């Protein structure tokens, strides 16, 4: 295991332990205070704990070499785990929204405002601190798993801030007799608002991971760099044409370039082919990915390049 992989594993462990502590506190207080929005925070954290340990297990599995069973590596496990994580979030958000709507039509839900304020302030600070820590540490390595963990803590921070805002509203409503009756609706309404706000995040991340799982062309400009480099070599070496396939899965860039040499091409020997391979490897080494899987083929028959 490389230094960056060990560093990533330690960060994932830290996230899991922090999530355990926060989940226990949130879930118990949510039950004691009978607040759905705090209970949602706790349930979200419990799911985060399960998914964090799932992520950690997947990370360890991915870093165990098994060329016989996985000749092309295990990188596709990473987007698959991320999709599972975000689908779990969607299920939780949807269930909490439905429960909030039911509570709203049943006359709301009374909660102790003082205790709720104290919890929300603590939760907001705790989650934001962990989120900032992950953002700062995660900049050192390009990892979708760490980005997903950071996003989870960001969502938890926003949930906690939503809880805090809701309890602040309830606190001030206590001093307005004409509006005091609406305090019982603050909890379900805030839960509905939070659900609407958060549903977009999992959908965006699922779309991003699905692109990797389906081995689609990267949308970050990487493929354009590869194509420009290959086309320059094609023109210089007077090759007939080239077919370029690029995809990105996790931290690995997969590049396949098939050159059709043709009668006028200057590539005549295996040494010429290896020279071009070395050049491509050198010119693509600055792309922001830890691993590259580069396959460069040469043929005179176009059908082998299609």
CA distance 164 to 167: 5
Q: Are 257 and 230 in contact (CB under 8 A)?
A: yes
Of the segments 60-69, 90-99, 117-126, which one has the largest average pLDDT value? 117-126
Write down the pLDDT at residue 290. 67
Write down the pLDDT at residue 298. 95
- In this predicted structure, the answer to whether residue 140 has a pLDDT above a threshold of 70 is no
Model confidence at 257, in pLDDT bands (50, 70, 90)?
A: very high
Write down the pLDDT at residue 3. 66
- pLDDT tens by residue, 167-182: 888 888 888 888 888 8
Write down the pLDDT at residue 125. 92
- In this predicted structure, the answer to whether residue 37 has a pLDDT above a threshold of 80 is no
Prediction pTM value? 0.73
On average, the pLDDT of the chain sits at 84
Residue 231: HSE in the Cβ half-sphere, 13 Å Cα cutoff: 7
Domains of the chain (ranges; CATH) run 3-213 (1.20.1510), 222-304 (3.30.70.1350)
Interstrand relation of 252-260 and 291-299 (parallel, antiparallel or unpaired)? parallel
Q: Are 253 and 212 in contact (CB under 8 A)?
A: no
Q: Which residue has the higher pLDDT, 225 or 115?
A: 225
Model confidence at 237, in pLDDT bands (50, 70, 90)?
A: very high
Mean pLDDT of 291-298: 90
Write down the pLDDT at residue 142. 66
Write down the pLDDT at residue 233. 95
Write down the pLDDT at residue 148. 74
Q: Which residue has the higher pLDDT, 294 or 147?
A: 294
Write down the pLDDT at residue 286. 82
Write down the pLDDT at residue 266. 92
């Amino acid at each position: 295991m490389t230094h960056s992989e060990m560093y990533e594993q330690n960060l994932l462990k830290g996230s899991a332990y922090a999530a355990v502590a926060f989940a226990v506190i949130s879930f118990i207080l949510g039950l004691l205070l009978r607040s759905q929005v705090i209970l949602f925070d706790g349930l979200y954290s419990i799911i985060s704990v399960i998914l964090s340990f799932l992520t950690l297990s997947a990370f360890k599995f991915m870093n165990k070499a098994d060329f016989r069973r996985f000749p092309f590596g295990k990188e596709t496990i990473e987007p698959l785990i991320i999709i599972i994580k975000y689908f779990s979030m969607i299920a939780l958000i949807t269930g909490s929204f439905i429960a909030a709507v039911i509570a709203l039509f049943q006359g709301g839900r009374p909660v102790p405002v003082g205790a709720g304020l104290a919890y929300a302030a603590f939760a907001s600070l705790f989650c934001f601190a962990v989120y900032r820590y992950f953002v700062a540490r995660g900049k050192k390595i390009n990892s979708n798993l760490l980005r997903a963990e950071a996003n989870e803590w960001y969502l938890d921070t926003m949930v906690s801030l939503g809880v805090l805002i809701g309890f602040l509203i309830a606190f001030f409503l206590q001093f307005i007799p004409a509006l005091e009756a609406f305090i019982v609706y603050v909890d379900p309404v805030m839960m509905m608002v939070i659900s609407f706000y958060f549903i977009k995040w999992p959908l965006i991340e699922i779309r991003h991971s699905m692109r990797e799982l389906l081995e689609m062309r990267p949308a970050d400009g990487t493929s354009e760099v590869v194509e420009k480099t290959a086309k320059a070599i094609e023109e210089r070496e007077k090759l007939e044409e080239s077919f370029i396939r690029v995809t990105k899965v996790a931290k690995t860039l997969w590049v396949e370039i098939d050159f059709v040499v043709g009668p006028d091409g200057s590539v005549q020997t295996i040494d010429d082919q290896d020279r071009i391979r070395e050049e491509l490897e050198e010119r693509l080494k600055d792309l922001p990915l830890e691993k590259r899987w580069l396959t460069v083929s040469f043929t005179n028959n176009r059908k082998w390049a299609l």
